[in-house]
Amino acid sequence: MNRLRLVVAVLVLSAVAPARADMNTLTLRGNYYRDRNTRVVQPALEIKKELPSGTQLEAHYLLDAITSASVAAGVLRDQPFTELRNETGFSLGQRFGPALVLGSYSYSSESDYWAHTASLGVVLELFRKNTLLGASVSYGNDKIALRMGPTLYNPIGGLQTVRGIVTLTQELTRTLRLAASYELAIVGFGTPDNGWQGNVYRTVNLGGAPARELVPYQRIRQAAAAQLHWAVPLPIRLVPYFVFRPSYRLYWDDWGLLSHTPELRMYVPVGPVEFRVTGRLYFQNHVSFWSDDGVRPSYPQGVQGLHCTTCALASSRTGLWYTADPKLGNGQTEFLELRVIVNLRAMRSWRWMPAAAWLSEGIVELSYGHYFNSSFAHTAFGDADIAGLTLEWPL
Residue 306: DSSP 8-state: B
DSSP characters for 72-89?
Answer: GGT-SSSS-EEEEEEEEE
82 class by beta-carbon count within 10 Å (0-12 exposed, 13-18 middle, 19+ buried):
exposed
State the DSSP H helix or E strand holding residue 135, giving kind and residue range, or none if neither. Answer: strand 131-147
At residue 345, the 3 state secondary structure works out as helix
Cβ neighbours of residue 60 under 8 Å, at least 6 residues apart?
A: 44, 45, 46, 47, 87, 88, 89, 90, 106
**Tally of structural domains, the chain:** 1
Instruction: Tell me the residue range of the domain where 116 lies.
Output: 2-394
CATH number for the domain that contains residue 6:
2.40.160.50
Backbone angles phi, psi at 164, to 5 degrees: -125, 140
Residue 239 contacts residue 308 (beta carbons within 8 Å): no
- Please give the single-letter amino acid code of residue 285: N
Per-residue pLDDT of the chain (395 residues; tens, 9 = 90+): 443 343 333 333 333 333 344 579 999 999 999 999 899 999 999 999 999 999 999 999 999 999 886 554 444 445 557 789 999 999 999 999 999 999 999 999 998 999 999 999 999 999 999 999 999 999 999 999 998 876 788 999 999 999 999 999 999 999 999 999 999 999 999 999 999 999 999 999 998 899 999 999 999 999 999 999 999 999 999 999 999 999 999 999 999 999 999 999 999 999 999 999 999 999 999 999 999 998 889 999 889 999 999 999 999 999 999 999 999 999 999 999 999 999 998 777 777 777 788 888 999 999 999 999 998 889 888 999 999 999 999 98
Q: Cα-flanking dihedrals φ and ψ of residue 377, to 5°?
A: -65, -40
Comparing CA positions, the residue from 330, 262, 317, 319 lying closest to residue 290 is: 330
